[in-house]
Chain A
């Protein structure tokens, strides 16, 4: 009985702690001028802010391209290593988890000089960020895909497909991909969330993405930036809630936590 009370106590207190800032954001962004009252101009002016809209478009493109590139690079590699080079599995895992050990702020220091070359060859587009972002999402994507691949009998299925005359492309697209649909979905949504929320690299490499724009807006219009922040948080929340519902439906059993950074895996 006392455990029950304690449980509700914990939920109430922490719930309040987490809801308070969100409520405060709503209150702050709808605060009327000196006259008081409620005023939704900050919310409506989101649609008028060109820089902000462009940043949102950039971030969305980055998110889609990053998850696509991540899948194209990672999935075939992982399948290949699983089937043909199991000895390299440790190495691949190590490489994929490496970005967890290097803070993004440190990555910037190392990569800044490299990016002057990227800019030189590919032009000064924010989309060149996908190269670093792919590296950033590797640990999370790897873990999501790994749990998906481990759950299916990859060897038997691919050998069956091969013996029936399928090429490797067919195996990947029509055997492996449907088998790891859930994992692919959660890996890409993770990548999307990560890219939409990324600030460190974009800001220090001077590319105007969503988070950079929010930060900049904060310097001139607090209410507007807080309104956008709240909108972004709620959007991400909706996205993840939908994901958890989807994943919960596709894989009831042995559902690896889609968002756990290196929780069960052991990087060594």
Chain B
């Protein structure tokens, strides 16, 4: 694939594919993909961390924890197409919430069909980003030793001091590492977007789908490969940063 990104249709070497992939609609798609990933990574990380904390303060073998982790596993890894339909049933044109609000005189779609555009993708992606955060952040929270809280308390620190001076710094690498993982996850997600958006290609994976399935894009057979290369580069950078942070995490939390 890497080789293909630099080859033209006749088999000669070229930079055109890469150049095209970094311009015009493709560049816009990359920017949108990055925006989508960044927003959902931050929102997912913050809300997911809160949820993970709420779960971890309960009983370690309790039903709450078991239900939440199982549900998170399903939503984060199995979801895909089904999640798109879940949101069509909720806030689609005839969805439960849409109809409910319409009966009360509020039009959800006054600003256009946002559910099929970037805002809709953000909403649906959040639905699998939060669970992923719960899954990857729970072990870090489990690693917090109760002795640290006791030590902080016995030295006269309040809960705020404990979170600010002890737990916060210890968890920070894990938190930001998980956030990077979330970023990579939504950057490379395809199924949900593909099922939700059937016309137009706002983000890179959908542009690639277009190039893979379209019969009208002539003379650009390797453009998809160049786009793929771009995606891999982004993910590699993100995951390398993740690996670095991970090393810091394991210093205190194991």
Chain A residues packing against B (C-beta within 8 Å):
3, 7, 10-11, 14, 17-18, 20-25, 27-29, 100-106, 108-110, 112, 193-194, 196-200, 203-204, 211, 214-215, 218-219, 222, 225-226, 229-230, 232-233, 236-237, 240-241, 243-245, 248, 257-268
Contact = CB atoms under 8 A, between A and B. Distances in A.
Contacts of A20: 90, 96-97
Q: Is the interface of A mostly helix, strand, loop or mixed?
A: helix
Contact of A193 (B54, B77, B85): B77
Given A105-B209, A241-B67, A257-B139, 20 more contacts: A7-B54, A18-B71, A103-B188, A108-B208, A109-B227, A109-B228, A110-B225, A197-B78, A197-B80, A203-B191, A204-B213, A211-B81, A211-B191, A214-B85, A230-B82, A244-B69, A260-B138, A261-B132, A262-B242, A268-B244
Contact of A266 (B54, B87, B250): B250
Given A25-B89, A257-B139, A263-B136, A10 B50 contact: yes
Contacts of A204: 209, 212-213
A200 B191 contact: yes
Interface stretch (B102-110, B113-121, B233-241): B233-241
B232 A24 contact: no
A119 B227 CA distance: 26
Contact of B205 (A103, A229, A243, A268): A103
Contacts of B87: 21
B232 A102 contact: yes
A48 B139 CA distance: 44
29 contacts: A3-B57, A10-B54, A14-B47, A14-B51, A21-B127, A24-B90, A24-B95, A28-B96, A103-B235, A105-B188, A108-B212, A109-B208, A199-B190, A199-B191, A214-B82, A219-B198, A226-B85, A226-B88, A230-B82, A230-B86, A233-B74, A233-B82, A237-B71, A240-B74, A259-B77, A260-B136, A262-B242, A265-B246, A266-B247
Q: Is the interface of B mostly helix, strand, loop or mixed?
A: helix
B171 to A, nearest CB: 13
A101 B136 contact: no
Given A211-B80, A267-B243, A105 B231 contact: yes
A132 B208 CA distance: 19
B86 A21 contact: yes
Nearest to A113: B4
Contact of B66 (A17, A102, A105, A241): A241
B77 A197 contact: yes
B194 interface: yes
Given A105-B205, A110-B1, A100 B239 contact: yes
Given A21-B89, A109-B1, A244-B69, A203 B78 contact: no
A18 to B, nearest CB: 7
A106 B72 CA distance: 25
Nearest to B239: A101
Contacts of A22: 86
Contact of A196 (B61, B78, B225): B78
Given A101-B239, A226-B85, A27 B96 contact: yes
Contacts of B25: none
A25 B85 CA distance: 8
A244 B87 CA distance: 27
A237 to B, nearest CB: 5
A237 B86 CA distance: 15
Contact of B77 (A103, A194, A229): A194
B29 interface: no
A225 B89 CA distance: 10
Contacts of B90: 20-21, 24-25
B135 interface: yes
A214 B205 CA distance: 20
Interface in B184-229: 184, 187-191, 194-195, 198, 205, 208-209, 212-213, 224-225, 227-228
B190 A105 contact: yes
A109 B128 CA distance: 25
A37 B109 CA distance: 26
A226 to B, nearest CB: 5
Contact of A214 (B57, B81, B138): B81
Name which of B78, B136, B244, B246 has the most chain A CB atoms within 10 A of its CB: B78
Contacts of A259: 69, 72-73, 76-77, 135
